Amino acid sequence: MEERVIIFDTTLRDGEQSPGASMNAAEKLRLATQLEKLGVDVLEAGFPAASEGDFDAVSKIASKLKKTEVAGLARTSKADIDRAWGAVQHAAKPRIHTFLATSDIHMEYKLNMTRDQVLKTTSESVKYAKSLTDSIEFSAEDASRSDRDFLCKVFEAAIEAGATTINIPDTVGYAIPMEFADLVNYVIDHTPNINKAVVSVHCHNDLGLATANTLAALNSGARQAEVTINGIGERAGNTSLEEVVMSLHTRPNYMPFSSNIKTELIYPTSRLVSMITGIIVQPNKAIVGANAFAHEAGIHQDGVLKNPMTYEIMKPETVGLSASKLVLGKHSGRHALRSHLKEMGYDLSDEELKLVFKKFKELADKKKHVVDEDLEVIVTEGILRTAEIFELEYLHVTSGTTVIPMATVRLFINGRPVQGTGYGNGPIDAAYDCIAKLTGTESELLRFSISAITSGTDAQGEVTVRLKENGLVALGRGADPDIITASVKAYINGLNRLEYLKANPVMATT
């Protein structure tokens, strides 16, 4: 009989700690709704004590979701736990997730605490959290580098105080699969009251082993996997939800576990995360990368045509990829658009549909066919980013071999119109120079990349930029049939994300 693995998604918390992957409240709420449709069991909505913005976003998500358990992260302090409970208390299924480091290096250099103090703090904080709600998770930060016997004592104290889930994080991605499997076995065998709690694992990908470590842990008795969509997260990222879920789905003979994930929603969810965060999925990324189901070698193509299973261990349709798409054009009506958007997971209000339909018609006048990827851009940029500080109103550029590149830009800054002119090495450089002057920002452009959203010469261009200012790094993304306009949209989006980061610092890790 198959056992079920609890899927704990932390895209909105740990995933958001990817450099530049900040999200505003509307974006978080939209993604949380999609994650509930995907079937995640527990959604870590954020770190409420980090900022007012994070508290507000977690509160809205907790009030919105009806099936998924909503967790708020907290350090082991009464103030943090109160803040987390304040944010999740209206959830249909609330959870408080508190954490404390247990490795000698963290206790000495970060916490300045003794082992006895860590044990006492763990017990007191979990007991207090338990007085607020029944579902309590305790994480031993840097567990993979902790003394095993001490780790078991900490977990025993946490469970005795009321923890219903104990989490074993490989916080710095140091473990290898055999070692991590042995650690999970050791914790299960040497924690006397372990049968009263679910064993969870949270792996980072610094050595590229996050998914391998998670699967090894599940085979050793862990029954909750902490993951993110596309594997985003701090440094090299987290365990990828799609990799874990599809490993269970594809290899039940070795991994006899099930999950509640609706696999056909994996690819649309991956696209949504990429659209919102501006983090492009690498083409060779497992499951959701552009090349995951592409076959260029002749012998592969021949085999797939004769029998897809010769070179495809999964059907593309299983993760939500399909060759058949409804193509919309300038003659498509509002009803057809609403119906198709609903199939894509966007249930828009009449006012939102009105805005999207207007932008859809504008795009349909520029290109012959509008496909799903185009609609995702319209919804993401038209609905989820309507209340930002900087908004583009007008752009005019002059460039060529015999003129000095010049750009005239008109912006709204907090609703106030401003206009100026800039010069540069090319039209994009000139536009960026003008925008920087108008906004009074001094960001450094670390990265600039261009790609096409779809095929064809009329495809929308997608531009991603990485900006740095005062130690903060933000990704910006923009799309438009005109690549210069897309570049300006990306730059403005990045500046807005920098402003969001300034107001919403992130302070947590597990």
Report strand pairing: 444-452 vs 406-413.
unpaired
Mean model confidence pLDDT for the chain: 89
Report strand pairing: 42-46 vs 257-258.
unpaired
Does the structure show a pLDDT above 50 at 297? no
User: Is residue 408 located within the same domain as residue 363?
Assistant: no
User: Is residue 444 located within the same domain as residue 400?
Assistant: yes
Which CATH number does the domain housing residue 435 bear? 3.30.160.270
Is 132 part of any domain? yes
The CA-CA-CA angle for residues 181, 185, 187, to 5°, reads: 115
Does the structure show a pLDDT above 60 at 306? no
Higher pLDDT, 421 or 453: 421
User: Is residue 217 located within the same domain as residue 128?
Assistant: yes
Does the structure show a pLDDT above 70 at 385? no
Number of domains in the chain: 3
Is 260 part of any domain? yes
Residue 220's Cβ-side half-sphere holds a number of Cα atoms within 13 Å equal to 24
Burial of 284 per CB tally in 10 Å (0-12, 13-18, 19+): exposed
Would you state the pLDDT for residue 205? 98
User: Is residue 364 located within the same domain as residue 258?
Assistant: no
Domain residue limits at 341: 334-383
Which range among 191-200, 332-341, 487-496 shows the weakest confidence by mean pLDDT?
332-341
Does the structure show a pLDDT above 70 at 326? no
Last residue of a domain, one of 249, 277, 305: 277
Is 79 part of any domain? yes
Mean pLDDT of 6-13: 97
Which range among 5-19, 62-76, 242-256, 346-360 shows the weakest confidence by mean pLDDT?
346-360
Which CATH number does the domain housing residue 104 bear? 3.20.20.70
> How far is CA 361 from its chain centroid?
30
User: Is residue 232 located within the same domain as residue 105?
Assistant: yes
Does the structure show a pLDDT above 70 at 303? no
Which range among 202-211, 230-239, 332-341, 399-408 shows the weakest confidence by mean pLDDT?
332-341
Is 402 part of any domain? yes
Which range among 132-141, 421-430, 454-463 shows the weakest confidence by mean pLDDT?
454-463
DSSP 332-359: --HHHHHHHHHHTT----HHHHHHHHHH
User: Is residue 37 located within the same domain as residue 63?
Assistant: yes
Would you state the pLDDT for residue 504? 74
Report strand pairing: 94-101 vs 6-9.
unpaired
Higher pLDDT, 378 or 172: 172
Contact 314, 259 (CB under 8 A): no
User: Is residue 70 located within the same domain as residue 150?
Assistant: yes
Could you tell me the pLDDT band of residue 295, with boundaries at 50, 70 and 90? Answer: very low
User: Is residue 188 located within the same domain as residue 258?
Assistant: yes
The CA-CA-CA angle for residues 464, 468, 473, to 5°, reads: 75
Does the structure show a pLDDT above 50 at 111? yes
User: Is residue 377 located within the same domain as residue 489?
Assistant: no
Is 293 part of any domain? no
- Highest average pLDDT, of 402-416, 449-463, 474-488, comes from 402-416
Report strand pairing: 224-227 vs 6-9.
parallel
The Cα-based distances of 185 to 116, 140, 172, 218 in angstroms read 24, 16, 20, 10
CA distance 283 to 270: 13
Mean pLDDT of 190-206: 98
What's at 257, amino acid-wise?
F
Q: Please report which helix (H) or strand (E) contains residue 380, including its range.
A: helix 372-383
Mean pLDDT of 216-240: 97
Could you tell me the pLDDT band of residue 376, with boundaries at 50, 70 and 90? Answer: confident
User: Is residue 444 located within the same domain as residue 405?
Assistant: yes
Does the structure show a pLDDT above 50 at 304? no
Does the structure show a pLDDT above 90 at 9? yes
Mean pLDDT of 150-161: 98
Would you state the pLDDT for residue 82? 98
Report strand pairing: 390-398 vs 444-452.
unpaired
Would you state the pLDDT for residue 500? 83
User: Is residue 374 located within the same domain as residue 232?
Assistant: no
Would you state the pLDDT for residue 178? 98
Is 147 part of any domain? yes
Last residue of a domain, one of 260, 277, 294: 277
Mean pLDDT of 227-256: 96
Is 323 part of any domain? no
Last residue of a domain, one of 347, 367, 383: 383
Would you state the pLDDT for residue 324? 43
Enumerate long-range contacts of 400-407, CB under 8 Å, 24 or more apart.
405/429, 405/430, 406/430, 407/431, 407/433, 407/434
Could you tell me the pLDDT band of residue 300, with boundaries at 50, 70 and 90? Answer: very low
Is 301 part of any domain? no
Which range among 30-39, 116-125, 233-242, 363-372 shows the weakest confidence by mean pLDDT?
363-372
Does the structure show a pLDDT above 60 at 70? yes
Contact 228, 14 (CB under 8 A): yes
User: Is residue 471 located within the same domain as residue 372?
Assistant: no
